[in-house]
Structure 1
Amino acid sequence: MTAPRDPFFPADKSIRASAEPLEVRQLGLVDYQEAWDLQADLAAKRATGEVSDTILVVEHPNVYTAGKRTQPEDRPTNGLPVIDVDRGGRITWHGLGQLVVYPILKLAEPVDVVDYVRRIEEALIHAVRQSGVIAAGRIDGRSGVWVPDTAPALDPAAPKRDRKIAAIGIRITRGVTMHGMALNCNNTLDYYEHIIACGIDDADNSSISLELGRDVTTDDMAGPLLQALDDTLSGRMTVADHSFKSAPDPSKGLRKKH
């Protein structure tokens, strides 16, 4: 299945309120708090029509960010700072070698959060498969992009269980999106060892470089991902069924902790 329900409007129609081209800002290495403040400022201005739809492309210095459903046992054991943020989901890590993309978009009415998430997942899956990780897909019940345990990685150091290669966490206020997606390109996995990433302890994380056995950088992936994202948001690329299994939602039924 591609979604828990049919989208509110046709899959080949744009989910954006505006038909103007996306403005892409490639910002390089940016402190997480600085990027979050910029997102908030742009989102407020987008809601009032002062700016157009904007996509921020960044990398962050090592940091943990805890979404609204983060539990005490999820938090890091290595002393690295944690920033509590206003997106959904639980805790994750950002750092060098991870491509982070923040779309600040005004969504078309009626706002369809599920369809928006599925479209950005579709863009990620397309870009990851295009890079050579052809087994990448979805696990129903868990957001993001996954590689199944049945698909061996070319680097023997890669985890062997089902593994997440891209994470998604969003917030929508006044019809405007914030936060977004993080794609593991050639980052270390060491920082994941100190948290229960996204509240999931029965699977692992991986990177495109580990899956392919060669170095794949954020610069390599930025262009393909941005093109795929533009295509899925506009409806030129429609959401397809890429699910290879289902698993429990790690945030379902949990109270917000902040």
Structure 2
Amino acid sequence: MSVSEVIFVPQGSTLGIISYLSEKNTDANKFDAVILRAMGHVQAGWIDLGAAKLSKLDFLYKLTTAKAALTQITLIPGETTAVFLQEVAKKLNLSETKLNEFYAKFAPLEDGFLVPETYKVPLGVNEEQLAAHLVNLSKKSHEKTATELLGNYDEKRWSEYLVTASVVQKEAANEDEMPLVASVIQNRLKNGMKLQMDGTLNYGLYSHETVTAERIRSDKSKFNTYLNEGLPPSPVCTVGLAAIRAAIRPAQSEFLYFVRDKKTGKHKFSVTYDEHVGTINSQK
């Protein structure tokens, strides 16, 4: 029989695992469950079969013995999916193009959907398997978090919060600031003001690029909040739980502006434009 050299096996009963493998176009049926029970306990997780073509008995035996060697990949809050997948492709010797294509196939959002954390993945995993695995884990995490914070998971509503959270994630100096940054976003939108936030231009492969005046003028993308009104139509980066909480429950404030304090690295918030300009001038 022909199979992928590395496969994922979920936790569950032997019959449940057989059913899962069958759905993944693996030649496995309920009679194989009897043989598996005789061989031993099926291992959950990634299994390294060692070859793409195996006899049925060898395949079933591998399910009980051949745990795959794992490595770790870490996605930090605020990083973009494009940069993350680029780095992962290099680390695991995968095609960056294929990895991006499969991510786009499985994920509902261009960015902001993968949950920042450290993932354990097998050496030998292919692009399709990895993209599907990361998206599936993230979807479960989003469903759990949304239910805890909002009572239910509504994909459209949750995606809107992720957009706001991504701007908060890019702009805030630390987690303590996040509710205040979210309040500035909320207040500027209520007042019909453009957001005019540099962080929205650190999308995609621009994640670590310095935003210059020339870039602000020349970037015609949907993410340029100096050019476009309202929030970007989709998240600009991946987001942590603190940013999501801030997007859902911004601080109550009248702040409309903030600027980075060169001494502390934190931000100073202002209600009026004159106050904002004064804060900027005080740092010169």
TM-score by length of 1: 0.30
Tell which structure's C-alpha radius of gyration is larger: 2
Structure number having the greater helix percentage: 2
Normalized per residue, the structure richer in strand is 1
RCO higher in structure (CA 8 A, sep ≥6): 1
